Amino acid sequence: MNWLIITIVAYFLLALEIILDKFLLSSKRVSHPAIYAFYSGTMGLFAIVIGLVFGGFHIISLAKIFFSFIAGMIFIYGMLALFFAVRKGEASRVLPVVGAVIPIVTFFLAVIFLHERLGARGILGIGVLIFGGLLISFELDKLEERVFFRGFRASLLAGFFLAIAATMIKSLYIHDNFLNVFGWTRMGAFLGTLSFFLIPTWRKAILGSLLKFKKPGKESKQSGGSFVLAKILGGSGSFLKEYATSLAAASVTIVSALVSVEYVFIFILGIIFSAWVPEVMQEKKDLKTVLQKIFAIVIIAIGIFLVSHMKK
**Rounded to an integer, what distance in angstroms lies between the CA atom of residue 226 and that of residue 287?**
33
Question: 102, 259 in Cβ contact below 8 A?
Answer: yes
Q: Cα dist. 98→4, 188, 231, 256 in Å?
A: 21, 22, 20, 10
pLDDT in tens, 249-278: 889 999 999 999 998 888 888 777 776 666
pLDDT in tens, 82-130: 988 877 776 667 888 898 999 999 999 999 999 998 888 899 999 999 9
Alpha helices (H) along the chain: 3-26, 33-43, 46-53, 62-88, 91-109, 119-137, 152-173, 178-194, 200-211, 218-246, 252-257, 259-274, 287-308
Mean pLDDT of 192-213: 87
Residue 39 CA, chain-centre distance (Å), reads 15
Question: 98, 82 in Cβ contact below 8 A?
Answer: yes
Whole-number pLDDT of residue 273: 74
Whether the predicted pLDDT of 3 surpasses 80: yes
Percent of the chain with pLDDT over 90: 47
Closest Cα partner for 281 from 38, 91, 82, 41?
A: 91
Whole-number pLDDT of residue 150: 77
pLDDT in tens, 9-33: 999 999 888 777 776 665 555 568 8
67-76, 184-193, 208-217: the lowest-pLDDT one: 208-217
Would you list the domain boundaries of the chain?
Answer: 3-308
Neighbours of 162 (CB within 10 A): 25
